[in-house]
Amino acid sequence: LGIGDDAAIIRQFDGRDTVITADLLVEGIDFRRAWMPPRLLGHKALAVSLSDIAAMGARPRWAMLSIGVPPDVWRSSFVDQFYEGFFALADYYGVVLIGGDVSRTPDRVVIDSIVLGEVAMGRAVLRTGARPGDHIFVTGTLGGSAAGLRLLEHGARLAEKATSQRASREIEELQLRHLQPLPRVEWGERLGHERLATAMIDLSDGLSSDLTHLCEESGVGASLDVSRIPVDPHVASKGVRRALDPLMLALHGGEDFELLFTIRPRDLRRLPRSVNRVPATYIGDVTGDAGRIILVEGTRRWTLKPGGFQHFDF
């Protein structure tokens, strides 16, 4: 039972767990209205929460939306377009909006996106389950969202019409990686349902930070093979790289919303190569050296610090 009463109602069933997440998006901090078409903001507000649910190995079912809007924005088509983007993604995954709150704000848009999902009892994938010897995988490609953000910061904007020029198309693709991220809902559900992942986290802060979180929660370390990190092909492309360092963006850039997970060696044969045409890539291994993340590049080894490097000689 949804919208229209003091609260929404969801029936419970033995053998299921509910997972729930909330993500606050504040104008001027998490997005800029000048860059962000309202339809894509509606998409992204839901996408970031779907990504959290996917990272638990759960299936998203219900959403709530608290939205604060200043009067001038309220009178525009902003809210309609926002909901259009929100519902397009919600409908695609069968997620039902069951409630929330609407408020005026003095001058900025603020959104709190709440998503509830379900998972078979005890099958939620936590950050705590990685063990030494597990392999580390990541879905999709990395660095695209951070590159898109850099391009937006330097004045790039989405064109009204599609372009046929290859360089322009690549620049648009990168902006969309930032403005319209695709949560890995199918991957998350599959990894949880088939008990494939021992630990999982979604890449919102960036590979270096989020792998650090996962290792801390599991009490383990990690060794990453730099040459295996799947850098976004547009980031690596000549047409757009210039001042961008693809590896730095892939390691430290946030908001790719890919899934980082660990898997036991004996379960590898059950791991699909791709789900919904999104591949998962082996990038390294879990170690017993708690708290330390080593980057291996050929014969060289670095110790990773989140957001930066520390040189390390052997």
Binding site for its own copies (CB under 8 A): 1, 4-30, 51-53, 55-56, 58, 64, 66-68, 98-106, 108, 110, 112, 114, 116-119, 121, 124, 126-128, 200-202, 217
Residue 145 beta carbon to its own copies: minimum distance, rounded to whole angstroms: 17
Question: Measured from the CB atom, is 107 or 297 closer to its own copies?
Answer: 107
Residue 160 beta carbon to its own copies: minimum distance, rounded to whole angstroms: 29
Residue 169 beta carbon to its own copies: minimum distance, rounded to whole angstroms: 33
Question: Measured from the CB atom, is 104 or 269 closer to its own copies?
Answer: 104
Residue 127 beta carbon to its own copies: minimum distance, rounded to whole angstroms: 5
User: Which of 23, 174, 30 has its CA nearest to residue 113?
Assistant: 23
What torsion, rounded to 10 degrees, do the Cα atoms 284, 285, 291, 297 define? -40
Cα 248 from chain centroid (whole Å) = 18
CA distances in angstroms from 40 to 49, 210, 258, listed in the order given: 14, 25, 18
Residue 70 beta carbon to its own copies: minimum distance, rounded to whole angstroms: 10
CA distance 138 to 38: 30
Question: Measured from the CB atom, is 151 or 182 closer to its own copies?
Answer: 182
Does residue 53 contact residue 22 with C-beta atoms inside 8 Å?
no
Q: Which of 87-96 are b and which e, b meaning 16 or more Cβ less than 10 Å from the residue's Cβ?
A: bebbeebebe
State phi, psi for 117 to the nearest 5 degrees: -130, 175
**Interacting residues of 154 by C-beta distance below 8 A, sequence separation 6+:** none
State the residue for tokens 């590898």. 268
Residue 114 beta carbon to its own copies: minimum distance, rounded to whole angstroms: 6
CA distance 116 to 7: 14
Question: Measured from the CB atom, is 7 or 34 closer to its own copies?
Answer: 7
Q: Which tokens hold the place of 125?
A: 């994938």
Question: Measured from the CB atom, is 98 or 294 closer to its own copies?
Answer: 98
Q: Which uninterrupted H or E stretch holds 62? A: strand 59-69
Residue 118 beta carbon to its own copies: minimum distance, rounded to whole angstroms: 8
Question: Measured from the CB atom, is 29 or 159 closer to its own copies?
Answer: 29
Question: Measured from the CB atom, is 99 or 284 closer to its own copies?
Answer: 99
